[in-house]
A and B are shown apart, each in its own frame.
Chain A
């Protein structure tokens, strides 16, 4: 086991006073807290910093650590506490804070292992009945699946429990995903989280809904949009097009002289909840042929010669 120098972790001198330690902790905690910093490795770094602070802010624990530090600095190989070492913390409840998750092996070896699951302050109350931790996983679902209630099998990894001595296991769960779930919503499955300690109730499992981006449709609230590519003559003369929706196809009339970017609203073809149905918006996009034929070019030239339309009219008024 590697010796952890808590002073180095917090970037303070071994004779630093309590105020300096607090300031150093705050600075690093702000930088690495997983709620503020989504970077990979930030959480591990924060746990290390929080652990260092737990020890150094407490006079008694700091004194014990200082003693071990002298000893630890001498050990060439892996660190082991001296034979017969016993921390005062073994018999005492300490207040403190730490992001969810346990302390390092190094901490446990010198200050004693935590029994039970952690309470809100991060430390456990040894041997007390405690509720199991909640687990959150992402559940990807297709847009089409939100239209009606769906039965899904959710597969997730139940984390190992060092107190109950159960290894990490794969769990399968059949879940009814209700109609109308939205991206970002969370579904709660009561009692499906980590097991409780000493007969405590199990935690809950949260399914964080992630709607998979659709190749054709974009979602805006309960409404969905689709882009309709049209040939220039179709937007000029108007046409009828068959448009895909989430439930089958519909025929849509494009009026003559439709501009590129125009939005056509089709009522009731959006996303559905039990009480509300959104709309479908079709956005017109004028698309040119990849290569115009000789005959086509001739017809465009005829059109160019006969029309007086200036698409850049707005520019000329500004210059």
Chain B
């Protein structure tokens, strides 16, 4: 049986992306992701760990930074908007499903 995890440590993240730890610190500073245990600025970054959803956004941010040569402030905005869009899409799907339970497809012509 394979062990299932919902988080990843700072050290593991550095190995995965093959990037400098400074880059991850920067991503956190711009608020693109927040470590699960970063309660205060005193929490040492070596001790940070991230939820598995965060890794998805970190990878996205890195790709956008490298491939599109966008600066971090713009990436933080793009990621924020992408997350908002994803949440709204999900909400919209839910409301559409609920509406379909109330509103029938066929119409009665007058």
Query: Which residue numbers of A lie inside 8 Å of B, CB to CB?
Result: 26, 29-30, 33, 35-36, 46, 50, 97-100, 119-122, 130-131, 134, 136, 151, 173-178, 183-190, 192, 201, 203-204, 206, 213, 218-220, 225, 227, 261, 283, 285
Contacts and interface: CB of A to CB of B under 8 A. Distances in A.
27 contacts: A26-B69, A33-B68, A35-B63, A35-B64, A46-B67, A97-B66, A120-B17, A120-B18, A131-B15, A131-B18, A136-B56, A175-B2, A175-B4, A183-B90, A185-B52, A186-B52, A187-B4, A187-B5, A187-B6, A190-B3, A190-B5, A192-B2, A203-B16, A206-B56, A218-B97, A227-B101, A283-B98
B98 A218 contact: yes
Contacts of A189: 2-5
Interface in B17-67: 17-19, 52-53, 55-56, 60, 62-64, 66-67
Contacts of B60: 35
User: Is the contact region of chain B dominated by helix, strand, or loop, or is it mixed?
Assistant: helix
A119 B6 CA distance: 24
B76 interface: no
B55 A176 contact: no
A136 B97 CA distance: 27
Given A120-B18, A131-B15, A174-B2, A186 B53 contact: yes
Given A33-B64, A225-B98, A119 B2 contact: no
Interface residues of B, number: 33
Contact of B4 (A100, A188, A225, A283): A188
Nearest to B7: A188
Interface string B56-90: 10001011101111000000000000100010001
B75 to A, nearest CB: 10
A38 B102 CA distance: 32
B16 A285 contact: no
Contact of A188 (B6, B66, B69): B6
B4 A176 contact: yes
B66 A121 contact: yes
Nearest to B60: A35
A122 B66 contact: yes
B63 A188 contact: no
B39 to A, nearest CB: 19
A206 B56 CA distance: 10
A157 B28 CA distance: 33
A6 to B, nearest CB: 17
A19 B15 CA distance: 34
A298 B102 CA distance: 28
